[in-house]
């Protein structure tokens, strides 16, 4: 009887962990979609908007990195599918990774 309770508790814990992984994956997928949508709305120009676009590319690269890391935590290791499904531009793929540290004001 005690062994059944332990196994039942372990199974419940495993289920809740899997549920949280899936939930996090969904949140990060929506975050990536939002970042890519915002980037798509910003034109590629050489004027002051270029700084805005650079920031959006950086944010999308960060969102992509978070999503890929979470997918790997779930055992999904192939990034090719994500790039194709979400239509990730090469400039975002090149900037995939953590955000640089904020620089202190001069």
Task: Judge contact between 70 and 32, C-beta under 8 A.
Answer: no
Which pLDDT score, from 0 to 100, does residue 43 have?
77
Q: Which residues contact 36 (CB under 8 A, 6 or more apart)?
A: 60, 63, 86, 87, 88, 89, 92
Which pLDDT score, from 0 to 100, does residue 23 have?
93
* pTM of the complete model: 0.81
Residue 56: pLDDT band (50, 70, 90) is very high
Which pLDDT score, from 0 to 100, does residue 103 have?
56
Residue 44: pLDDT band (50, 70, 90) is confident
Which pLDDT score, from 0 to 100, does residue 105 have?
57
- How do the domains of the chain map onto residue ranges? 25-94
Q: What is the mean pLDDT of the chain?
A: 86
């Amino acid at each position: 009887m005690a062994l059944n309770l332990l196994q039942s508790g372990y199974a419940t814990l495993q289920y809740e962990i899997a549920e949280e992984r899936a939930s996090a994956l969904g949140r990060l997928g929506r975050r990536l979609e939002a970042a890519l949508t915002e980037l798509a709305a910003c034109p590629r120009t050489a004027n002051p908007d270029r700084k805005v676009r650079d920031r959006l590319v950086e944010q999308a690269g960060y969102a992509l990195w978070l999503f890929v890391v979470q997918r790997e935590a779930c055992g999904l290791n192939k990034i090719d599918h994500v790039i194709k499904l979400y239509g990730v531009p090469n400039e975002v793929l090149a900037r995939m990774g953590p955000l640089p540290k904020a620089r202190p004001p001069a």
